[in-house]
Amino acid sequence: MLNALFYGDNLDVLREHIANESVDLIYLDPPFNSNATYNVLFRAPAGQQSEAQIEAFEDTWHWGDSAARAFDEVIRSRHTEAATMLHAMRSFLGENDVMAYLAMMAVRLIELHRVLKPTGSLYLHCDPKASHYLKLLLDAVFGRANLMNEIIWKRTHAHGSSKRYGPVHDVIFFYTKSNTFVWTDPRAQHAEGYVERHFTLTDETTGVQFAPITLTGSGVRHGESGKPWKGINPTDVGRHWALPGAILEDLGISSGTIQERLDGLDEAGRIFWPKAKDGTPRLKWFVTDLHGVAIPDVWIDIPPISAHAKERLGYPTQKPLALLERIIAASSNESDLVLDPFCGCGTAVHAAQKLNRRWIGIDITHLAISLIERRLKDAFPEVKFEVHGVPRDLGGARDLASRDKYQFQWWAVSLVDAVPQGGKKKGADRGIDGIRWVRTGPREGDVDRVIVSVKGGEHVTSGMVRDLKGTVEREGAAAGLIITLAEPTREMEREAAASGFFESGLGRHPRIQAITIRELLGGIKPDLPPLGRSEGFRRAPRERGPKAEQGRIEL
């Protein structure tokens, strides 16, 4: 499958479009059930008022028809362990928001398990408030033995919290589908000063710095580890031979008796004889033998995205690219398929693209999908991908309008490169569904607003044009644009035409104009001045070649 973005509910997309055992790696960062509403921030052109916000999604799940249906589907599925677990959770929790969340997650985890290859891995990113329940669900769906790690990621700097310790971490569960799985054994750099502190000696033959590693352990032992080698008997100083297995394995000297292995080290020029008379021999561990430290399961080396970071796009809950790069580099190979079913502003797909993996992203918010489209094109101008679920014809547009008024508005507004306004609160939009910033002159500050109003109903009237005219006047904007799903009436067109023109400094354009979804889908553009340069979603910096940041581990 080509790289793909799907707009829609991940449960439907998984069931309809993703084949059994086709995915190598899944990362999911579902909304946490924290009763929060998340706002997307939009950048305004330089010199204009502060950033606009819009509610993108809420993460509150309620016990209702769809939660009950999800619960039933799990109970009736052939996943008896998941069914037993969910049933037990319902007995304990009752029917409430948390239970709704768990039922919705359980039915999705079953689908995710289905699409994962036998060698695949799943990383579930969550909050400590939900993690204990999710771990039980994951145990039930993936099997307890397949829990590889519970990763603690320090996601923020300390909080002032007077009544408890500052909550600063997220939890990321790493499960595999079986005990044979892709693992690239990623390494991080040693802590700063580590080499200088430990590799203090220089080998006379090669000139390479080395650390002297002891070859004995404390306590007298009898048997092989207490026998002398080259006249040195460690028991004389209350010790026994104890060779560092991992290093010897790296050097290819892992078989034979202790004395034979010591001979092997000596032949390889790896024995250091301290000058002190009774000094026992040491192993020369060259600085060139170092290949980084294994990454522990507590991650404090990936900072949150700061308010001014270049990668910050204004999407709530955006995760740092370095976090996803670490996960993808560790648990997949180049060309493998990575899936993020709750992809938000697309951090996982961005990291996958950067590391030469194939990818699929799914999100139920149209804003997220259009943001990712922009993000990928900005970061990887040559990138190729498909977008599914976004209306491509009038039928699709009607369907979206009937299913979700707000998603329809956000989609329609994106067709004219405008920034959505208002959000889901009643009356929040004050008649403004979007703002398109336009150039009105050659200088950076020469910009003005065109107010966009979207009408998704089957009937449109000239009253709508009059309302828009009123809003344009009230707001002191340059012009108004009304986008309709239905064809405009004659009267509407007359009303719009009677509004005259505005001079943008770059040309003359209608003050009020109407355009249909049919026209927009057919490639017809509204008659407006060019876009202001810096409006809308923030831009992702352009990426160069694949590189996974593995940070520096403080041990």
The DSSP string of 135-199 is: HHHHHHHH-GGGEEEEEEEE-SPPP--SSS----EEEEEEEESSSS------EEBPPTTHHHHH-
Which residue from 4, 5, 29, 351 is in contact with ligand SAM, where contact means CB under 6 A? 29
Strand partners, 245: none
* Identity of the residue, 327 or 368, whose beta carbon is nearer to ligand SAM in the bound complex: 368
Query: In the bound complex, what is the minimum distance in angstroms from residue 381's beta carbon to ligand SAM?
Result: 21
Query: In the bound complex, what is the minimum distance in angstroms from residue 427's beta carbon to ligand SAM?
Result: 23
Q: State yes or no: residue 111 binds ligand SAM (CB under 6 A).
A: no
Q: Where are the alpha helices (DSSP H) in 394-461?
A: 394-403, 405-415
Which residue from 111, 139, 363, 535 is in contact with ligand SAM, where contact means CB under 6 A? 363
Three-state SS at 124:
strand
Q: Which of 172, 23, 180, 181 is nearest to 111 (CA)?
A: 23
Query: In the bound complex, what is the minimum distance in angstroms from residue 221's beta carbon to ligand SAM?
Result: 53
Strand 512-516 relative to strand 419-420, pairing = unpaired
**Site size toward ligand SAM, by CB under 6 A:** 19
Query: In the bound complex, what is the minimum distance in angstroms from residue 354's beta carbon to ligand SAM?
Result: 14
The contact mask relative to ligand SAM for 203-242 (x = CB under 6 A, - = no) is ----------------------------------------
* Identity of the residue, 131 or 347, whose beta carbon is nearer to ligand SAM in the bound complex: 347
Query: In the bound complex, what is the minimum distance in angstroms from residue 426's beta carbon to ligand SAM?
Result: 21
Q: Which of 364, 372, 307, 322 is nearest to 346 (CA)?
A: 372
Which residue from 3, 18, 31, 465 is in contact with ligand SAM, where contact means CB under 6 A? 31
Both tokens of 172, joined, read 């990321």
Query: In the bound complex, what is the minimum distance in angstroms from residue 363's beta carbon to ligand SAM?
Result: 4
* Identity of the residue, 178 or 317, whose beta carbon is nearer to ligand SAM in the bound complex: 317
**What own/partner pairs with CB < 8 Å and gap ≥ 24 does 133-138 have?**
133/89, 133/98, 133/102, 134/102, 134/105, 134/173, 135/173, 136/85, 136/89, 137/82, 137/85, 137/86, 137/89, 137/102, 137/105, 137/106, 137/109, 138/109, 138/173, 138/175
Query: In the bound complex, what is the minimum distance in angstroms from residue 149's beta carbon to ligand SAM?
Result: 19
Q: State yes or no: residue 534 binds ligand SAM (CB under 6 A).
A: no
* Identity of the residue, 9 or 266, whose beta carbon is nearer to ligand SAM in the bound complex: 9
The contact mask relative to ligand SAM for 312-331 (x = CB under 6 A, - = no) is ---x-xxx------------
Query: In the bound complex, what is the minimum distance in angstroms from residue 440's beta carbon to ligand SAM?
Result: 34
Q: Which stretch binds ligand SAM (CB under 6 A): 27-35, 181-189, 221-229, 490-498?
A: 27-35
What letter does residue 200 receive in the DSSP assignment?
-
* Identity of the residue, 362 or 401, whose beta carbon is nearer to ligand SAM in the bound complex: 362
Query: In the bound complex, what is the minimum distance in angstroms from residue 410's beta carbon to ligand SAM?
Result: 12
Q: State yes or no: residue 107 binds ligand SAM (CB under 6 A).
A: no
Cα(369)–Cα(528) distance, rounded to whole angstroms?
25
Cα(374)–Cα(554) distance, rounded to whole angstroms?
36
Both tokens of 233, joined, read 């008997």
Cβ atoms within 10 Å of 491's Cβ, excluding its own: 13
The contact mask relative to ligand SAM for 44-83 (x = CB under 6 A, - = no) is -------------x--------------------------
Query: In the bound complex, what is the minimum distance in angstroms from residue 374's beta carbon to ligand SAM?
Result: 13
Cβ atoms within 10 Å of 271's Cβ, excluding its own: 16
Which residue from 3, 5, 10, 453 is in contact with ligand SAM, where contact means CB under 6 A? 10
CB-CB contact of 26 with 123 (8 Å) = yes
The contact mask relative to ligand SAM for 333-352 (x = CB under 6 A, - = no) is ---------x-xx-x-----
Cα(323)–Cα(549) distance, rounded to whole angstroms?
9
Query: How would you list the strands of the sheet with 201-202, edge to edge?
Result: 201-202, 209-214, 282-286, 271-272
CB-CB contact of 461 with 489 (8 Å) = yes
The contact mask relative to ligand SAM for 260-299 (x = CB under 6 A, - = no) is ----------------------------------------
Q: State yes or no: residue 429 binds ligand SAM (CB under 6 A).
A: no
Query: In the bound complex, what is the minimum distance in angstroms from residue 27's beta carbon to ligand SAM?
Result: 8
Cα(435)–Cα(512) distance, rounded to whole angstroms?
14
Question: Which amino acid is located at 248 in the chain?
Answer: L
Site of interaction with ligand SAM (CB under 6 A): 9-10, 29-31, 57, 315, 317-319, 342, 344-345, 347, 362-365, 368
